[in-house]
Amino acid sequence: MPDPIRLEIFKHLFSAIAEEMGAVLRKASFSPNIKERRDFSCAVFDSTGNMIAQAAHIPVHLGSMPLSVAAAINKYDQDATPLAPGDTIILNDPYLGGTHLPDITLVTPVFLDQTNTSLTLPETVGSALKQSRRPFAFVASRAHHADIGGISPGSMPIAREIYQEGLIIPPIRLLDQGHLNQDILDLILRNVRTPDERMGDLQAQIGANQRGEKLLHELISRYGQGETALYMQELLAYTERMARRLIEDIPNGVYSFIDHLDNDGQSQEEIPIKVTITIEDDMALVDFTGTAEQREGSVNAVYAITLSAVNYVFRSLIGLDVPNNSGCMVPIRILAPQGSVVNATLPAPVAGGNVETSQRIVDVLLGALAQACPERIPAASQGTMNNLSIGGWDPERKRYFTYYETIGGGTGASQASDGISAIHSHMTNTLNTPIEALEYAYPLRVRRYEIRKDSGGKGFHQGGDGITREIEFLSKAQVTLLSERRTTAPYGLSGGEPGQKGENMLLHGDKQTLLPGKGAFSAVEGDILIMSTPGGGGFGIKDE
């Protein structure tokens, strides 16, 4: 039996490595999206690609990052030149464990110190590693880059196929035994609108991974290879036990729920997402049969996104301070029909699947579980990330710029409390872009930034309010909006009212134009964009 005190120590040690990687990435990065909004995640993995610890970063990366690490492992297991110390793999392919193209992942193998052979590894890990010279572990970072090419600045377009969304990077060596592959880097930078910023952010990711590798070596040096490997596996087993205990606390039964995406940006047709959750003792089956087929527009989610959303919901319900690792998903089986909007296939565009469909998947999962344990489930939160991408020529700084951010809204109320106002919720854990940072870096001016009063759903407990953010363009720009809950409102629970729907408005002189939730347009100097985000749903019937 593992020592419970030692288990707790290793839980914090691995998490601290991921947290310090994140600190390096944030401080060294160039773009406000990473430096200010903290749109990134860092994690530690075992030799087979199981995630051992993720810092408190982005939930949408929680289940998907292990699939990217697995893709890197699979590629180089079959390669004539296997992974070696000093290698770092770069990839962003959503169909190989990625989320959407702006999210670039760097995977670095961590090898055992071959000079120290006196320490004994667990039988299940040690002999295989020593015989094959496979990595002992991996560290990885994933960051949302503000541009990766494609048909629109910010690489979050209203596209019809993934090839319009930007440069697709399969698993490939960016660092080869410590040497930068300049040809690969040149290819990437030639395909983006802001190469200097991309270069700075990629260097920050390299630095974060190298810091994680160094810290993991220090941990192994202090505690030994055998004990480190042992507690990697014990932490996975611990989280699995906690997940099984959670599922056992949910009454056995079959629970279904359906909700809708507004549209895919190419048509106005609502897109149903349906889930049926079957609880049987300490196991859960999450079945998305009945969900719409993948769409022409860019709201399709790859399997990695659906896995992340399921992982997030069940991990959140555990309620204890258990590690963010792959053990949570062991007792949970997912059925996501291939070719559906929750398990898309090539060449479906996926930019919005990561940011919008992921939120709706959470909504339907919580809606189903509310039937089983209503006292633990909140009403729907805003259900969107309100994606805003702006790009163009900055005449003052004499350079091209790309700006990307997501905007918070209201969270759903629960049996215990009101919802929270003006905050990012569920699958995003980013901060806002501070007004000072935004105006310093871009030809934009924030005219208004405030809570959208009374936009939360009424109820015994009130849903949280959304945000109103008003931005003036100081130069010509191309703008892309990718938002949800503009035609379907966030639902309330137990008699609570839905939250208010969001609204996008463009002011051009005296003319006001109501904009769709998803679309692109050209702005000129003096135009004003007003984004009003949804409130969360209310809970319970309000006393008169």
CA distances (Å), origin 412, targets 278, 319, 493: 24, 17, 9
Q: Please list the residues that pair with 448 across neighbouring strands.
A: 470
What digits encode the pLDDT tens for the residues 150-165?
999 999 999 999 999 9
Write out residues in the chain with pLDDT < 50, as ranges. Answer: 114-131
- How far is residue 487's CA from residue 268's CA, in Å, rounded to a whole number? 10
**Cβ 347 vs Cβ 94: under 8 Å:** no
> In the block, which residue shows the tokens 């969304």?
165
| pLDDT value of residue 129 | 44
| pLDDT value of residue 62 | 75
**Cβ 48 vs Cβ 24: under 8 Å:** no
- How far is residue 192's CA from residue 85's CA, in Å, rounded to a whole number? 30
| pLDDT value of residue 544 | 60
Whether the pTM exceeds 0.75: the reply is yes
- How far is residue 357's CA from residue 208's CA, in Å, rounded to a whole number? 29
| pLDDT value of residue 236 | 97
Assign residue 439 a region (left: φ > 0; alpha: ψ between -120 and 50; beta: otherwise): alpha
| pLDDT value of residue 192 | 97
Q: At residue 32, what are phi and psi to the nearest 5 degrees?
A: -60, -30
Token couple for 249: 């606390």
CA distances (Å), origin 308, targets 139, 284, 444, 475: 19, 15, 34, 38
Provide the sign of the torsion angle of the four alpha carbons 235, 104, 364, 362, taken in this order. Answer: positive
Residues whose CB falls within 8 Å of the CB of residue 91, separated by 6 or more in sequence, listed in order: 68, 71, 72, 97, 98, 104, 105, 107, 169, 170, 171, 172
